[in-house]
């Protein structure tokens, strides 16, 4: 099996707009998405080895460290026979219930000696 990194993306502006909704409205939407996510995991969970939410972001450059924002909401580590197989399980994913949301799947290539 090969490993792949799935990045769940959503524009910062969309998330900021979502946070302007009432807590009650957000909770109702989260409950719907959770049910859809659970159903998706029931079908595809054997391939998903880890899913983690992304938090606040720091950017490190040669000039120092700054706070920043990006579109990454979460990531998953997926095991599949091929890149195509890994990508295919994300068709119709509940993440797409978020306006402008995308999921990017990329090979996770081991780099020997880079531990």
Going through the chain in order, the beta strands assigned E by DSSP cover 2-9, 48-53, 57-61, 64-68, 72-80, 102-107
- Bridge partners of 101, per DSSP, are none
Domain contains 96? yes
Domain contains 113? no
Continuous segment of H or E residues that includes residue 28: helix 23-44
Provide the CATH number for the domain around residue 53: 3.30.70.1060
Domain contains 75? yes
pLDDT, tens digit (0-9, with 9 covering 90-100), for 82-108: 999 999 999 999 999 999 999 999 999
Choose among 49, 41, 43, 70: nearest CA to 3.
Answer: 49
Domain contains 16? yes
Enter the pTM of the model: 0.90
The chain-wide mean pLDDT, for the chain, equals 94
pLDDT, tens digit (0-9, with 9 covering 90-100), for 36-63: 999 999 999 999 999 999 999 999 999 9
Query: How far, in Å, CA of 18 to CA of 26, rounded?
Result: 7
Work out how many domains the chain is built from and give that number.
Answer: 1
Backbone angles phi, psi at 69, to 5 degrees: -130, 150
3-class state of residue 37 by DSSP = helix
């Amino acid at each position: 099996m090969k490993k792949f990194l799935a990045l769940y993306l959503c524009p910062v502006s969309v998330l900021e707009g979502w946070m302007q909704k009432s807590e009650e409205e957000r909770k109702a939407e989260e409950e719907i998405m959770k049910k859809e996510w659970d159903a998706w995991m029931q079908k595809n969970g054997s391939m998903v080895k880890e899913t983690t939410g992304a938090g606040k972001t720091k950017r490190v450059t040669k000039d120092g460290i700054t706070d920043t924002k990006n579109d990454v909401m979460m990531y998953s580590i997926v095991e599949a026979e091929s890149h195509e197989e890994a990508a295919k399980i994300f068709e119709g994913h509940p993440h797409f219930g978020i306006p402008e949301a995308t999921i990017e799947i990329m090979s996770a290539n081991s780099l020997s000696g880079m531990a």
